[in-house]
Amino acid sequence: MDFNKYKNSYVTTIENSLQFTGKEHDFFTQVKAEFLKKIIKTYLPNVPKPSLLDIGCGHGLIHKHLRDTNLEIVGVEVADEVLELAQQSNPGVTYQVHNGNTLPFKKEQFDIAITICVMHHVVPSEWPNFLREMKRILKPYGIAIIFEHNPYNPITRYIVANNILDKDAVLLSSPKLKKMMRHAGFTDVKSRHILFTPFSNSIFRWLDHTLGFIPFGAQYYSFGRA
């Protein structure tokens, strides 16, 4: 998928496929940011200014929701024209072009590596290398957090099938991703499902944090230590 082609219509295209949920794309981004901040606080409580690499960061849409943290954020993306827009929106973030194969960083450079709904755009034969590169740039105590669509959720499958941005998508399940992460050398690998409802009410957000063990949320994240 050439995301440069959709650099000015990316959010609109996604929101067209989300209309029936009654929520804008930013709601789902905020939810992921909430989980991300909670994970970092739990697993890296003694790192004063964690460095975070966002792999396949796109427009950097989640970065504005991380401004209240003490993170040093770097984003990499293969779509160079999209990065120009990301930089305009997030002047405090460092962005670099990525060749899609080898991350342009030395070994053990970051405390955190994240990738948000990116792996389903990667050719499956390249998934092992994607994960090995993710682990390579992490410090020994570092953590990886991978957000993905849940292929077992029928609503998710409907959204993906009706979004032109996902025409090349190959969805991967949480069990499959966890297995691949272990093969890549990650430890303490675990997953939880999120976004069981598209509602922002505090009760529904509480449910989202409580029901993570049930494999029916619209998305999930997998976590691992380097």
CB proximity list for 116: less than 8 A, separation 6 or greater: 32, 54, 56, 62, 147
Residue 113 is predicted with a pLDDT of 98
CATH number at residue 52: 3.40.50.150
Q: Taking the model in full, what pTM does it have?
A: 0.91
Helix, strand and coil percent figures for the chain, each rounded to 5: 40, 20, 35
DSSP H/E element including 146: strand 138-149
Helix, coil or strand: residue 114: strand
Asked if residues 131 and 181 have their Cβ atoms less than 8 Å apart, the reply is yes
Q: Considering only 24-33, 77-86, 209-218, which range has the smallest mean pLDDT? A: 209-218
Sign of torsion over alpha carbons 69, 84, 136, 223: positive
How far from chain centre, in Å, is Cα 58? Answer: 10
pLDDT at 52 over 90: yes
Q: What is the pLDDT of residues 56-88, one digit of tens each?
A: 999 999 999 999 899 999 999 998 899 999 999
Find the domain containing 112 and state its range: 3-225
pLDDT at 202 over 70: no
CA gap 137, 111 in Å, rounded: 9
Asked if residues 149 and 170 have their Cβ atoms less than 8 Å apart, the reply is no
Task: Fill in the amino acid letter for 182.
Answer: R
CA gap 141, 119 in Å, rounded: 23
Mean pLDDT of the 129-144 span: 96
Task: Fill in the amino acid letter for 35.
Answer: F
Asked if residues 191 and 216 have their Cβ atoms less than 8 Å apart, the reply is no
| Residue 205: band (very low, low, confident or very high) from pLDDT cuts 50, 70, 90 | low
Percentage with pLDDT > 90 across the chain: 64
DSSP H/E element including 20: none
- How many domains, in total, are found in the chain? 1
Phi and psi, residue 41, nearest 5°: -65, -35
| Residue 115: band (very low, low, confident or very high) from pLDDT cuts 50, 70, 90 | very high
